[in-house]
Amino acid sequence: MTGGPLDGLDERQREAASALRGPVAVLAGAGTGKTRVITHRIAHGVDTGAFSPGRVMAVTFTSKAAGEMRGRLRALGVEGVAARTFHAAALAQLNYFWPTVAGDTAPRLVDNKVRVLAHAADGIGLDPDIATLRDVASEIEWRKVTMRSIEQYAAERTQGVGRMPVERVADLQRAYERLKDERRQIDFEDVLLACAGMLEAEPKVSRAVREQYRHFTVDEFQDVSPLQHRLLDLWVGDRRDICVVGDASQTIYSFAGADAGFLLDFARRYEDARVVRLETSYRSDAPILDVANELMRDRPGALHLVARPAAEADADAPADADRPTVNAFADDAAEARAIAAAVAAQIRSGAEPSQIAVLYRAHAQSAEIAGALAGAGIASTVLGGRRFFDVPEVRQAVMALRGASVAPLQSAFVDAVRDVLRSLGLTDEPPQAGGALRDAWEARAALLRLAEEAPAGSTLRTFTDELMARAKAQHEPAMRTVTLATLHAAKGLEWDHVHVAGLAEGLLPIAYATTFEAVDEERRLLYVGITRAARSLSLTWARGPRDRQPSRFLREIGTRTLRAVGASGSGGAATRRGGSASASARVR
């Protein structure tokens, strides 16, 4: 590690990373370096002797985020910190303590909730379709993470699932729980419930856990559910060394039980808490931040993002071309073609395809956009689709490289990898069109780039070992393709150029968002999409056959921060907040 852990941090980041004792809340806006602050704070604590690495638990929400945190800590010279998801930490504790507490091994995890639900439905004479079973599975997850019994659930819910009334949904949930008990299985949410129950019922277990972990850090604290918060309380006990990091404006999982109230109320719960606000964005240029700030103006817990100093000079220039744009189209096909044309222009101007993303509210919107991109000869990858190492061409290539590794190298390492990939169909130039052939080419090309970036002295054997380790850790290489993603899937990621499609009423906010709370969640989704962009942002919508109207969010953002651009059969921009709807974006 070169220099100290506080080197390279700005004033607010340094303040947060230096606060090592007592309750600390870091309110970190999009792109303000929250992961950097978390890891440097832990490293500073270890460096000063305030923390022992083995006594620190850093909790994240995804395995990928936990892996990234461990990697950053290693780069700072810190090993031994337990950087885990809530579920991974709880499962490890269950497996460790269960034999002592119950005299037996811990129950097996349910590997497919829908399949168990289908068997439970058979047992009580129900025959729901797969879609209904999936929705019931989601209801079970919500009920458990919000810590409701089946009886409470049945009393509070006013609507059933599909054509299944609430009473039958409750019956199915009871049957599901009975079947799990008979099979001695627990599901994903039961892991948290069982761990919390064990800590509450067994003082020797809670003492052991609290002795092991003295210092807690929780990332994305706005996304904790009541169950996760209860478990965290049990882990922390009477100690006060807890640091939470989050942004209320990025709460987009309320439907799954997330409750930003825990973040917003932290300073009230701990009256002596140190609260640090990170509002300098190191990701987005000032015009993009203006749009984000306008969208979230006056919302609870909203931070006011400002551009990093290097971008402020650009923001002072009156170059209207740098302002994010809004455009309207006659139909979805025209919108998709216009997005594809804009992406093509960005690529011709030197942008890397991997630094361009098209975001939308629902998966169904991706097909039209992917087709338009393919028609323009632009390869795209749908985020959240098949994992890279599950792609057949990738599996085939890894096996071929593994097979080639048993023979002595006849050429340089990278040349040997290239030869194997060429034998499987890799060419010097990609296929002109999109589609399956282009997808296969991009996957093989990504493997070749990994070989070119491998350390000196690599062999086919060490390279394939690294590929297998990457597959296990879900550490996927960057594809040189345009990314298509839902707004939910885009959280935590960033691109230089972002196009947000479908900004029409019924799509964003989505039609079933009928309450104030639901619409506010849709607002936060758009905020997440906007703040993924670093250099450029475009917002589009299409009227379509049902005469859609522009999203209310466009009207609220207003023309002060968005530049209206015309297109064939389209035009206009959103009005200022509170302005006349007659001036809002419309198809001519």
Per-residue pLDDT reduced to its tens digit, 488-516: 999 989 999 999 999 999 899 988 888 89
Instruction: Extract the tokens encoding 531.
Output: 């703040």
Sequence-distant (≥ 6) Cβ neighbours of residue 111 within 8 angstroms:
none
Is pLDDT of 562 > 60?
yes
157/485 Cα distance (integer angstroms): 31
Q: Hey, what CATH class is 287-384+481-583 in?
A: alpha beta
DSSP H or E run through 281: strand 280-281
534 is annotated as contributing to ligand binding: no
Quote the CA–CA distance of 310 and 115 in Å, as a whole number.
54
> What are the residue ranges spanned by the domains of the chain?
11-90+193-278, 108-183, 287-384+481-583, 388-473
Given pLDDT bands bounded at 50, 70 and 90, which one contains residue 406?
Answer: confident
Is residue 423 within 8 Å of residue 403, measured between CB atoms?
Answer: no
pLDDT band per the 50, 70, 90 thresholds, residue 357: very high
Please check if 435 is assigned to a binding site.
Answer: no
Is the per-residue pLDDT at 313 higher than 50?
A: no
Q: Which residues pair with 356 in a beta bridge?
A: 497
The whole-number pLDDT of residue 579 equals 32
Task: Look up residue 367 and give its two tokens.
Answer: 């097909």
d(CA 153, CA 139): 9
Is 251 annotated in a binding site? The answer is no
**Within its chain, how far is the Cα of 252 from the centroid?**
10
For residue 261, say whether it is annotated as part of any ligand binding site. no
Residue 31, marked binder: yes
Residue 361's pLDDT is 92
Residue 268 has pLDDT above 50, yes or no: yes
11-90+193-278 and 287-384+481-583: same fold?
Answer: yes
Helix H or strand E segment including 377: none
Q: Per the annotation, does 35 bind a ligand?
A: yes
Decide if 464 contacts 361 (C-beta within 8 A).
Answer: no
Q: What is the DSSP secondary-structure string of 475-494?
A: -PPPPSSEEEEEHHHHTT--
Helix extents (H) in 124-187: 130-145, 150-156, 166-183
Residues 218-253: tens digit of each pLDDT? 999 999 999 999 999 999 998 899 999 999 999 999
531 is in an annotated binding site: no
Listed residue (72, 86, 406) closest to 227, CA to CA:
86
Confidence (pLDDT) at 426: 87
Decide if pLDDT at 537 tops 90: yes
Whether 38 contacts 58, CB under 8 Å: yes
- Contact yes or no for 460/320 (Cβ under 8 A): no
**Long-range Cβ pairs for the range 180-184 (8 Å, 24+):** 180/110, 180/116, 183/108, 183/116, 184/107, 184/108
Known binding residue 325? Answer is no
Q: Which CATH architecture has domain 11-90+193-278?
A: 3-Layer(aba) Sandwich (3.40)
**Three-state DSSP class for residue 63:** helix
